[in-house]
């Protein structure tokens, strides 16, 4: 009951249409919606704090900031384990999509862009195959214990 009380109502929260177009929603943490980037080249989650009107990490309230960052930490650690990542890339950029969102990307030395960051590369995004997508969504949902 206390967990329920602490969690954010998503009733007034609207995901930016560009994020909605590029990703698949997996579920919600207490503060952040968890999305999977639909790009089979990189295991790539995006966390979106379910508050309206945020652009910068420092726009989060004094109470929300450490709680969101703890969700980032926990998600990154578990996703690194799930994907057997060599390195995690964690970033809040938002130059194009203004709604605050945090990238959590599992990198491998054999991936298509290594060792470069995943942005501005010549690697064209490719959707997951249907079975691979279902499998990934299920694994992440279990791993992060998402609602």
What residues line the site for a copy of itself (CB under 8 A)? 55-58, 65-66, 69-70, 72-73, 76-77, 80, 87-96, 107, 114-117, 119-121
Nearest approach, Cβ of residue 11 and a copy of itself (Å): 28
Between 35 and 118, whose beta carbon lies closer to a copy of itself? Answer: 118
Between 9 and 95, whose beta carbon lies closer to a copy of itself? Answer: 95
Tokens of 29: 């943490």
Nearest approach, Cβ of residue 88 and a copy of itself (Å): 6
Quick check: 80 and 89 in contact, CB under 8 A?
no
Tokens of 98: 């203004």
The order of strands in the sheet holding 44-49 is 23-28, 32-37, 44-49, 102-107
């Amino acid at each position: 009951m206390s967990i329920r009380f602490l969690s954010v109502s998503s009733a007034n929260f609207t995901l930016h249409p560009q994020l909605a177009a590029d990703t698949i929603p997996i579920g919600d943490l207490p503060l952040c919606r968890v999305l999977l980037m639909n790009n089979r080249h990189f295991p790539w989650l995006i966390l979106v704090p379910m508050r309206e009107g945020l652009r910068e990490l420092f726009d989060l309230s004094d109470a929300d900031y450490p709680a969101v960052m703890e969700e980032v930490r926990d998600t990154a650690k578990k996703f690194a384990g799930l994907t057997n990542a060599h390195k995690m890339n964690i970033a809040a950029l938002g130059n194009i999509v203004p709604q605050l969102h945090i990238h959590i990307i599992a990198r491998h030395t054999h991936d298509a862009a290594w060792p470069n960051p995943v942005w501005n590369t010549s690697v064209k995004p490719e959707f997951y195959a249907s079975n691979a997508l279902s499998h990934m969504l299920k694994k992440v949902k279990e791993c992060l214990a998402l609602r």
